[in-house]
Structure 1
Amino acid sequence: MSADVTANPPAREDTPESTDAVVDRVVVQQTLDQLGPPQDEILRMAYTEDLPLKTIAERLDMPLGTVKSHIHRGLARMRKSLEVHND
């Protein structure tokens, strides 16, 4: 290998995450934490782990309709909380 190749490593493809994106992630995590169980757990399973609602219902031993209701109410509460945060 020549000295030029080792002295100049290839540029990194990944770029640092923007400050806004980091702040957004922190705000979403705090909002999820405020929901409390089981809504926070269900929403994390659905959106972070990308699990189907049927799988979530089976894992938590809940009826599918209950999981859907928790998702609907949890997202509504998050939306309201995030709207207040953005004002």
Structure 2
Amino acid sequence: MEATLSVIGGRWKGVVLFHLLKGKKRFGELRRHLPNCTQRMLTLQLRELEEDGLVKRTVFPEIPPRVEYELTPFGRSVEPILVGMRDWGEKYKARL
């Protein structure tokens, strides 16, 4: 449990990973999905996920530079956990 939470724990990592389940996203797209997350925090979370091998960052040599984020095969392995967390959260909200 501790190892899992050390990688996907925190306020934004799970949400970022969940949005990347649907496919590649540019930084701006992720920002729109996370309006309460600051640009700095999103950058830090993405860097940590990249360092842990869950997210792949691709930089295209264009002006202005274009950057895309996507899940690695290892990152895809957390899909059942993320879907389970979403399902539990929906049940919890319905209970309130």
TM over 0.5, shorter chain: no
- Judging by fraction of residues, say which structure has more strand: 2
TM-score (norm 2): 0.36
Give me the TM-score of the superposition, normalised by structure 1: 0.39
The structure whose residues are more often helix, as a share, is: 1
